[in-house]
Structure 1
Amino acid sequence: MAPSDSTVILRVRGSLAFSCWLESSNGSQSQKSVSTSFSDLRAKVRDESFVFNLCNSPVFIWPNKNCHASVSSITESTRCGDLQKHVEMEDGDGGGKKKRKDRKTVSTVVNLASMTEVTVSDEENLTAPRLSQKKKEHSLDMTLPLDCVVSTGADETVGIVCERLIGALCSQLLDMENVVSQHLQGTDIPVPQPFHFMLPEPHGLISVVYPANTSDNDLESCRKDLHKKYELPEDRPYFKRANAFQFPDQQFKDGYLRNPHEHLNHPNLEDANLYLVQGVYSYHHYMQDRMDDNGWGCAYRSLQTICSWFQQQGYVERTVPTHKEIQQALVDVGDKPAAFVGSRQWIGSIEVQVVLNELLKVTSKIMFVSQGSELATKGRELANHFQTEGTPVMIGGGVLAHTILGVAWSESSGQIRYLILDPHYTGGEDLQTITEKGWCGWKGPDFWDQQAYYNLCLPLRPNIV
């Protein structure tokens, strides 16, 4: 189930202490010991002493005891959408705690912590595998990081959802067992690590366990198996760790806004269809990163937004390039003289195409428009791009550059609206200002200078798993 306004995502996180004995000379005996230990953990998850704590609240729920709760108003038949009523959050003004305010997010996230009624000592709270030796046997002790999600409708009952969460936790432990067993070589065992990925319909949010400290290249065969399991094409990196789902209630640590367009209302055009950017991007604009590029850096910022899309979809691992790195790339390919680095000179769509190819190995198509009035006739080409490639588009004309994130286009009438992300914004990362003042918004054909020529850079997806 893909998130929507009526979707509730229940996420339970916690840890379990894992311990088993390994025999270096007897691989089958070690495998049996691993299997037995994981079986014991699954039994622990289904035990009546297993507890969910509703985070930032005094609510405890015993999912295996008829959903008994520490708050009498919560029963098996309680709507899971009502759980957030019991959640408190820290007052941003430093005035203690207050009830959580409603925020406009893609969906509601209910965070739960897993625990048991038996207190675990600090010595057992391990973060990495710990080995001790006894004759020919090794004791392996490590903490398993649990992280399970269930997506459901707000009207679903707590009883049914708790049953699904327990099943998801047991399933995750089985996946962890498979990871440990597959990588069981002597005493070198990585910690299994859960990730969540949002797949196209009908799959929705899927959880996957990878071995920690393993490169994406080493996981390619595993990702191919997942593509086959979910019948997905092998031309998009759905299961790369960089493409892991970002929960709506989590803030990005780098400070950039993600996907501000998702907070806009769609334009009201008769018989029009929406064709939008697919995936996640960061909003890059003037004056960020302690760089005063006001008046000359709009195309650089549009390029950075495009690069962030390729990074956050898992196509590339490199960070978003700085202005100087963009300029150096153009010098390296012979497009600009050495003095260009450190200058305040503009770039255009052709330079954006060159840099994407040089730094990201991403190819692009260029669409030439002799005057702005012709952009109103480009609905089909832009719709096809967003439907097939789904990447942000950089458009440059005269001394201005913008990022196109989608179009609303009617094939019958030809009416069109463009979803524009404006890099000329100079303020802080204020979502309300950005959306209400039109820095990210829907624009009509008159947005463009009707007489100026425009070049559009349409980046293409690489075919990788």
Structure 2
Amino acid sequence: MVLSDSQSSDSGTILRVKGPLEFKCLLETTDALQMHKVISRTFETLHSQVKSESCVLTVCDSPVFIWPNRSFHATPQDITPDTPCEDLQQWIQTDEFENTGRRSAKKRSKKTSTASVINLRLMMEVTTKGSHLSAPVLCRTAKKSHFLCTTLPMDCVVCATSKDTAKDAFERLMEALGRQLGEMERVMLQHVKGTTLLVPEPLHFLLPEPEGLVTVVYPAGVADSQLETERKELHQQFELPNDWPYFRRANAYHFPNEPYKDGYLRNPHLALTNPSLDNGKVYLVQGIYSYHHYMQDHMDDNGWGCAYRSLQTICSWFKQQGYAEGPVPTHREIQQALLDAGDKQASFVGSRQWIGSIEVQVVLNQLLGVTSKIMFVSQGSDLGSKGRELANHFLTEGTPIMIGGGVLAHTILGVAWSETTGQIRYLILDPHYTGAEDLQVITDKGWCGWKGADFWDQTAYYNLCLPQRPKVI
């Protein structure tokens, strides 16, 4: 594991280049010292390829090709070394381009505070101008050796500001590629076992300001549990607290232009505008969760599964922050966990029976080893007095809260609270939604939205399950 690069990702343009580099070497001996020399020579060859004039970067979904080592030669010719880097966005094709034949930059989402991403592909020219073709010469030599072959998954990012020219930004990008190759070499040499190579795996992590986006190279196939020493070193290097798993694989940065493969919406609350209260502050869930609601996963739980769905949202938070591994539990797995914990009878598994906050607490402990606090509220009208406790929870723990009362369950993702006036509003994620994963419908119709104190049944009894974040690296 080695630190690769550090860039701010709050604004501007992120250049991200990905592409395979073929690693091939012939080992005539298994002597460790000789193997290290052969591997290092192979990396020297790869460094030369990346620095050569044959190296080409192509902007994905565009006609743009750039030869960064030829004094920034590019096609189309409209793109010059002095072209502002962000102007490359104009060449990225969309459906509108196909229909009209004109360039059209991809639309940004509602939130424009994050950087836009320009994806590039790393390629190598096979032939060049003036190259002479000749018949190959074959020479056969009989001897025993080991042929090692793998693909290095290069993945580099740099952040360009509005002042950066394309030439300047691509020079930094090529420097980052060179550094990443060096780090891959160190990781591979550190973890080589006999004639087995572990492929280096670059991952990007978004750290608190002022660090921003950094890249770390891990050995693929080595579990997070075996990399704790390396993570501790990174925490010390960046002066990070030792109670948050910043560098676990599950915490790797998800680029805004990449869809999630499982189909669930992430953090729909980010599309909302926070309310403004007199002398009030907003306290929100920290990190990433997925929105789980009625009728997902080919499961008809309409009318009885709201607490299960709220629990799934909470489990997704622990999974995506790196505290837990494995998939989000199904309804049946939740019921089985309650049976295993001695909380329910065997007939409960496979039933359509409701669960509440206490059961959510039991399942989190049984499946994830997560403890929770339970807040008892005798009637909904008293929830307005819980602003300080809820604000403190989101400030210190940052986990979603499950609240159950009567026959309904919801997920609380944050509060807006004024310490001076006592005004409070609640950010609610509603598991009773039965529609498609349409962010606009979900936010416009209030399935994820800010609610006032009148949202709660003023006379109903409520239990709140406040999951506690494990203090681990």
Q: Same fold (TM over 0.5)?
A: yes
Deviations, residues 291-312 of structure 1 (Å, cap 9, x unaligned): 1111111111000000011111
Q: In structure 1, how many angstroms separate the alpha carbons of the residues matched to 2:97 and 2:299? A: 29
Q: In structure 1, how many angstroms separate the alpha carbons of the residues matched to 2:101 and 2:332? A: 45
Q: In structure 1, how many angstroms separate the alpha carbons of the residues matched to 2:330 and 2:97? A: 33
Equivalent residue number for residue 388 of structure 1: 396
Q: Aligned to 2:227, what secondary structure does the other structure show? A: helix
Residue type of the alignment partner of 1:36: R
Q: In structure 2, how many angstroms separate the alpha carbons of the residues matched to 1:93 and 1:300? A: 44
* Percent identity of equivalent pairs: 63
After TM superposition, the structure 1 stretch with the greater mean CA deviation from structure 2, 401-410 or 39-48, is 39-48
Query: How does 1:61-100 map onto structure 2 within 5 Å?
Result: 61-90=66-95, 99-100=104-105
Q: In the alignment, does 2:325 pair up with 1:317? A: yes
- Which residue of 393, 417, 421 corresponds with 2:429? 421
Q: Quick one: structure 1 residues 93 and 72, their matched pair in 2 at CA, closer, same or farther if it must change by over 3 Å?
A: closer
Q: In the alignment, does 2:414 pair up with 1:406? A: yes
After TM superposition, the structure 1 stretch with the greater mean CA deviation from structure 2, 334-343 or 400-409, is 334-343
Q: Aligned to 1:284, what secondary structure does the other structure show? A: coil
Q: Quick one: structure 1 residues 136 and 203, their matched pair in 2 at CA, closer, same or farther if it must change by over 3 Å?
A: farther
Q: Quick one: structure 1 residues 435 and 7, their matched pair in 2 at CA, closer, same or farther if it must change by over 3 Å?
A: farther
Deviations, residues 239-280 of structure 1 (Å, cap 9, x unaligned): 221221111111111111111111111112233222111111
After TM superposition, the structure 1 stretch with the greater mean CA deviation from structure 2, 18-27 or 280-289, is 18-27
Q: Quick one: structure 1 residues 403 and 97, their matched pair in 2 at CA, closer, same or farther if it must change by over 3 Å?
A: farther
Please say if residues 395 and 401 of structure 1, whose CA atoms lie closer than 8 Å, have aligned partners that are also in contact: yes
Q: In the alignment, does 2:259 pair up with 1:251? A: yes
Alignment coverage as a number of residue pairs: 452
Q: In the alignment, does 2:443 pair up with 1:435? A: yes
- Which residue of 195, 201, 207 corresponds with 1:187? 195
Q: Quick one: structure 1 residues 34 and 428, their matched pair in 2 at CA, closer, same or farther if it must change by over 3 Å?
A: same
Q: In the alignment, does 2:58 pair up with 1:58? A: no
Q: Aligned to 1:141, what secondary structure does the other structure show? A: strand
Q: In structure 1, how many angstroms separate the alpha carbons of the residues matched to 2:9 and 2:451? A: 27
How far the C-alpha of 1:91 sits from its partner, in A, is 7.0
Q: In the alignment, does 2:375 pair up with 1:367? A: yes
Please say if residues 92 and 103 of structure 2, whose CA atoms lie closer than 8 Å, have aligned partners that are also in contact: no
Residue type of the alignment partner of 1:10: L
Q: Aligned to 1:88, what secondary structure does the other structure show? A: coil
Please say if residues 373 and 451 of structure 1, whose CA atoms lie closer than 8 Å, have aligned partners that are also in contact: yes
Residue type of the alignment partner of 2:209: E
Please say if residues 89 and 97 of structure 1, whose CA atoms lie closer than 8 Å, have aligned partners that are also in contact: no
RMSD of equivalent CA atoms: 2.3
Please say if residues 404 and 418 of structure 1, whose CA atoms lie closer than 8 Å, have aligned partners that are also in contact: yes
Q: Quick one: structure 1 residues 54 and 317, their matched pair in 2 at CA, closer, same or farther if it must change by over 3 Å?
A: same
How far the C-alpha of 1:330 sits from its partner, in A, is 1.3
Residue type of the alignment partner of 2:73: H
Equivalent residue number for residue 221 of structure 1: 229
Q: Quick one: structure 1 residues 101 and 344, their matched pair in 2 at CA, closer, same or farther if it must change by over 3 Å?
A: same
Q: Aligned to 1:427, what secondary structure does the other structure show? A: coil
Query: How does 1:32-181 map onto structure 2 within 5 Å?
Result: 32-90=37-95, 99-104=104-109, 106-118=114-126, 135=143, 137-181=145-189
Q: Quick one: structure 1 residues 366 and 92, their matched pair in 2 at CA, closer, same or farther if it must change by over 3 Å?
A: farther
Residue type of the alignment partner of 1:75: T
Q: In the alignment, does 2:402 pair up with 1:397? A: no
Residue type of the alignment partner of 2:415: V
Deviations, residues 395-418 of structure 1 (Å, cap 9, x unaligned): 111111111111122223222221
How far the C-alpha of 1:426 sits from its partner, in A, is 0.6
Please say if residues 30 and 195 of structure 2, whose CA atoms lie closer than 8 Å, have aligned partners that are also in contact: no
- Which residue of 286, 300, 308 corresponds with 2:294? 286
Q: Quick one: structure 1 residues 388 and 114, their matched pair in 2 at CA, closer, same or farther if it must change by over 3 Å?
A: same
Q: In structure 2, how many angstroms separate the alpha carbons of the residues matched to 1:160 and 1:327? A: 57
Q: In structure 2, how many angstroms separate the alpha carbons of the residues matched to 1:156 and 1:445? A: 49
Q: Aligned to 1:378, what secondary structure does the other structure show? A: helix
Equivalent residue number for residue 14 of structure 2: 9
Q: In structure 2, how many angstroms separate the alpha carbons of the residues matched to 1:117 and 1:28? A: 34
Please say if residues 55 and 111 of structure 1, whose CA atoms lie closer than 8 Å, have aligned partners that are also in contact: yes
Please say if residues 67 and 159 of structure 1, whose CA atoms lie closer than 8 Å, have aligned partners that are also in contact: yes
Residue type of the alignment partner of 2:63: P
How far the C-alpha of 1:94 sits from its partner, in A, is 9.9
After TM superposition, the structure 1 stretch with the greater mean CA deviation from structure 2, 410-419 or 83-92, is 83-92
Residue type of the alignment partner of 2:314: I
Q: Quick one: structure 1 residues 357 and 119, their matched pair in 2 at CA, closer, same or farther if it must change by over 3 Å?
A: farther
Q: Aligned to 2:94, what secondary structure does the other structure show? A: strand
After TM superposition, the structure 1 stretch with the greater mean CA deviation from structure 2, 430-439 or 92-101, is 92-101
Q: In the alignment, does 2:272 pair up with 1:267? A: no
Q: Quick one: structure 1 residues 134 and 149, their matched pair in 2 at CA, closer, same or farther if it must change by over 3 Å?
A: farther
Q: In structure 2, how many angstroms separate the alpha carbons of the residues matched to 1:262 and 1:427? A: 19
How far the C-alpha of 1:136 sits from its partner, in A, is 6.2
Please say if residues 237 and 464 of structure 1, whose CA atoms lie closer than 8 Å, have aligned partners that are also in contact: yes
Please say if residues 97 and 104 of structure 2, whose CA atoms lie closer than 8 Å, have aligned partners that are also in contact: no
Unaligned runs of 5+ in 1: 121-132
Please say if residues 18 and 121 of structure 2, whose CA atoms lie closer than 8 Å, have aligned partners that are also in contact: yes
Q: Aligned to 1:14, what secondary structure does the other structure show? A: strand
Residue type of the alignment partner of 2:398: G
Q: In structure 2, how many angstroms separate the alpha carbons of the residues matched to 1:206 and 1:261? A: 26
Q: Aligned to 1:414, what secondary structure does the other structure show? A: coil
Q: In structure 2, how many angstroms separate the alpha carbons of the residues matched to 1:3 and 1:294? A: 41
Q: How does the TM-score come out when normalised to structure 1? A: 0.91
Residue type of the alignment partner of 1:81: E
